[in-house]
Structure 1
Amino acid sequence: MPDRVYISFLRLPLLVRILLLAILVFLTFGITIHFLEPDTFPSIFDGIWWAIITASTVGYGDYVPHSFFGRLTALFLILLGVGLVSSYFGTLAAAAVTKQDAFSEGRIPFKGTGHIIIIGWNERSRELIGKLTSVKFPEMIVLIDETLEANPVKSRFVHFIKGKGHVDETIIKSDIQRAEKVLITADRGNDELQADMNSILTLLTIKGLCAQVKCIVEILTADQVINALRAGADEVIQSNKLTSVFMVNSLHSNGDGLLSNVVHQLQESRLMDIGVKEADIGKGFREMCQELLNKDFLLIGIKRGEETILNPAHSFQIEENDQLLLFK
């Protein structure tokens, strides 16, 4: 039985072991001094109070032993107790520093719910995280990257995890089961095809661990879009295609940057899709636009199945399963 207790004690964290030893010393010396000098220390609590104050080197002087054995007890307490108290606070400080370093270096798992996971650190993710954390009520973001040495964002709403996105251990650390969405960004430092393969591999890892989480994947090559969808992507962003649209528009607009200016104005707006209410079925697009404008929404189109119709005819009728595309 004593061996079992001793083994259980050794398995406790160092900080807890030192604290338990310190408490044992305070109780032992506090009770001992009470029985050695009951007149000076009327109660056991007074003795424990004296032991704690003496061992912590505060020394108020409200209780002082007068007998030879009382002072001898005090000497042993000073020699033993001060070392324990110093060890405790030193270990506590070291543990706090170690914990902070581990948190900053991405070695601490995230625990939470409803968070957004962003995989890959680059200018796109930097801009995105900046916008997500600058709103009035920011969502918690978990950033996963293998190249960073420490969290690049000084925000309490960003939790950094260092590791490869296609490794199970890394994804599990992000509490994937309770995440709201995952954004996988492409590594433009690699060959485009290789970057897409890495993104799809990461997607397969995530879907294998949590099939229900919504995954948005950035794909660079058009040929790999179908593979990303086969791997379970809920949405695919073809960033190269979007860039080419901007370039073509710039060439045809004589360099006035019209599309860029429009997108810049819409940066603070949020594109969303909402289902059609039963009362709106059969209404025309123009009538629906007017109703939503009165509520400060801008209706720009309709999503019907796999087809997206932007700015349809005014007489275009709303059907039951349509999705309204609008800006807030």
Structure 2
Amino acid sequence: MAKSNKTITQWLRWPIHFRITLIVLLIILVFGEIITLIEPNEFPTTFDGIWWAVVTVSTVGFGDYVPQTYLGRGIAMLMILAGASFVTAYFASVSSAAIKRQHSYLEGNVTFSGKNHVILIGWNEKANEMIDSLKTVKPYKQIVLIDDSLKESPLIENVHFIRGNPANEQTLLKANIQEADAAIITADQHKNEQDADMNSILVLLSLKGLNPNLYCVIELLTEHQANNANRAGANEIIKSYKLTSHFIMSSYLAKNGLSSFYSELNPASGNLFQVLPVNKELIGKTFKDASHQLLEKESILIGIKRGEDTKVNPPLSFEIQDHDSLIVFTH
């Protein structure tokens, strides 16, 4: 009895459409073989019997094979009564499974299985703009959006939506964090600045805990959590409060429509900043000479990154060293 119960339990664990498929196939094979044995003249091969069974239970009824004896017709009646209901249930279960899968995808419950993707934390206007930019620069790059405020997916091409708390381990595993290329954490617009920054740090700790090598960019709204973000392993800290204030003040001082210039800084416009290692031919040269050389390649030298220090527009006589990095504006 225990063994029988175990078998039934294992059977019931299979998906309903899979179980119905097996039953339908069994009915087709059994009745296809039986009709071949009963009426060998009308059904000379087993394949002919199976073909007749498929056509009959599917209610197509081509009429190319028809039982001639009373026994054969009785077998056909039994097969129709047994098989038609299961075939109907099969198509209903397949349709139900497809609809359920679609709803699960829209609701953000489907696990992402791709690799080398970008995980974007938080849905807001900044995230929408970043998605548009990335689609322009790297159109084939997969993006996994994690957010717990959206009710359903925004339905953007190459964007896989997962609904849940981004600080939760199960949510991050659904995003296949171990195979991700990078993660971008945007500030939660539904919280105040202090709480939003603390939440971002918590998400960063969760990301680095599951994938220490993941390249993480975090947005902070205040200065208080900058040190904590560094300790948590942030690769880049974007202090949006400083960037915004600097752009606003620059626009005020210039008084000549700098906002149109800022829009050109979007990578989607074809212009982007890059940090490049120094070529051997540039080592020992001055900032002026390196600028002229890069300008011939349609790149503008903005500054030099030396260790943790960054010098923007240094003196023309500034000498470039071996381990420096070049900050260029290019397209």
TM-score (norm 2): 0.94
1:327 deviates by: 1.8
Aligned-residue CA RMSD (Å): 1.6
The structural deviation recorded for 1:68 is 0.5
Partner of 2:74: 72
Tell me how far 1:274 sits from its aligned partner: 1.0
* 2:185 corresponds to 1:179: no
Structure 2: tracts of 5 or more residues without a match = none
- Look up the match of 2:261: 262
CA–CA separation in structure 2 for the residues paired with 1:89 and 1:272? 54
Match for 2:263: what amino acid? H
Q: Per-residue deviation at 1:120?
A: 0.6
Aligned mates of 1:327, 1:138 — CA distance in 2: 24
The reply on whether 1:162 has 2:163 as its aligned counterpart is: yes
2:275 aligned partner: 273
* Residues 241-250 or 35-44, more deviating: 241-250
Structure 1: segments with no counterpart, 5+ residues = none
Counterpart of 2:17 in structure 1 is 15
Matches within 5 A, 1:113-128: 113-128=115-130
Report the alpha carbon displacement of residue 138 of structure 1 after superposing the two structures with TM: 3.2
Matches within 5 A, 1:227-238: 227-238=228-239
Q: Give the number of aligned pairs.
A: 325
Shift of 1:109: 1.0
CA distance in 2, matches of 1:62, 1:2: 43
> Hey, what does 1:210 align to over in structure 2?
211
Question: How do 1:212-227 residues align onto structure 2 when only pairs under 5 Å count?
Answer: 212-227=213-228
Q: Which residue of 2 aligns with 1:51?
A: 53
> Are residue 63 (structure 1) and residue 65 (structure 2) matched?
yes
Aligned-residue offset at 1:2: 6.6
TM-score (norm 1): 0.95
Code of the aligned partner of 2:152: A
Q: Is the 8 A contact 1:132 1:138 kept in 2?
A: no
CA offset at residue 51 of structure 1? 0.4
Deviations 1:12-52 (A, max 9, x none): 22111111100100011001101111101001111111000
Deviation at 1:289, TM superposition (A): 1.9
Would the alpha carbon gap of residues 172 and 247 (structure 1) be closer, same or farther in structure 2, given more than 3 Å must change? same
2:34 to 32, 35, 39: 32
Q: How far apart are 1:247 and its partner, in Å?
A: 2.2
Equivalent AA in structure 2 for residue 262 of structure 1: F
Shift, 1:283, TM fit:
1.8
Report how far residue 187 of structure 1 moved. Answer: 1.3
Whichever residue aligns with residue 316 of structure 1, its letter is F
| Counterpart mapping for 1:277-288 below 5 A | 277-288=279-290
* Counterpart Cα distance in 2 of 1:253 and 1:217: 30
Number of the residue aligned with 1:108? 110
Shift of 1:148: 0.2
Q: Equivalent residue of 1:232, what SS?
A: coil
Residue 323 of structure 2 corresponds to which residue in structure 1? Answer: 321
- Equivalent runs, 1:79-90 vs 2, <5 Å: 79-90=81-92
Structure 1 residue ranges (4+ consecutive) displaced by more than 6 angstroms after TM superposition: none
